[in-house]
Amino acid sequence: MSDHRPTQPLSAEQLAEIAKWPTPAIANAIETFNIRSRATGFMSSEIVGRFPELGVSVGYAVTSKIRASIPPADDPETVDRDTWVEHILSVPGPRFVVMQEMDQPAVGSYWGEVNATRHKAMECVGIITDGGVRDLDEMRGMGFNALSKAVLVSHAYTHLVDVGGPVTVGGLTVHPGDLLAGDQHGVIHIPHEIAAEVAAAAQRVEDEERKIIQFYRSPDYRPGDRDGGRYP
């Protein structure tokens, strides 16, 4: 089992400060620390935020894999739900569920009103999956975020086949305890070593960008004038 739980989880106040920023601003902030390639650390565009109006959700990853194409009784890899709950409760909250779908394309949705209700009760803020979601009105109404590859009608034979290991969703490998932010733009991983500083860094980048934007909106601006900023 691979696990990246934080040594010291952020406080609710610190997480709320991060959640004030959309994921592109979080990405900009992370860039300023030069700790990873700018081309890594986020999921691909195949993972779509289903509820833009819910804004940014931030939480520590709990991970699993599912299959829906065969009944759980016929699958030797089936994992019971108690094992899943034990894993969820072992990771500090708030939690972001990251579920890898072993059927591609997905044939059934694990996620709808019932499972969203169950997981919200366990301090989960939403689901990130390369599988499907359904019951969109109900999930939206309870404020449970959903970022997925598909929207599907049926739950088919959905069942857990792995819990608490690394999963790869939207091209990003996620480990239990990874700090994630997700919104209408997608999902980004926030390294623990800079997490406490990300909100302040986002504000610094925003302040810089405001100056550039104001420069181009000024009535004194003339085409060809240079802003002196970091953008070409």
Global pTM value: 0.93
Domains of the chain, each with CATH number or no CATH: 12-211 (3.50.30.40)
Three-class secondary structure assignment of the chain: CCCCCCCCCCCHHHHHHHHCCCHHHHHHHHHCCCCCCCCCCECCCCCEECCHHHCCEEEEEEEEEEECCCCHHHCCCCCCHHHHHHHHHHCCCCEEEEEEECCCCCCCCCECHHHHHHHHHCCEEEEEEEEEECCHHHHHHCCCEEEEEEECCCCCCCEEEEECCCEEECCEEECCCCEEEEECCEEEEECHHHHCCHHHHHHHHHHHHHHHHHHHHCCCCCCCCCCCCCCC
Spell out the per-residue pLDDT of the chain, length 232, in tens: 456 888 889 999 999 999 999 999 999 999 999 999 999 999 999 999 999 999 999 999 999 999 999 999 999 999 999 999 999 999 999 999 999 999 999 999 999 999 999 999 999 999 999 999 999 999 999 999 999 999 999 999 999 999 999 999 999 999 999 999 999 999 999 999 999 999 999 999 999 989 888 888 888 878 877 776 655 4
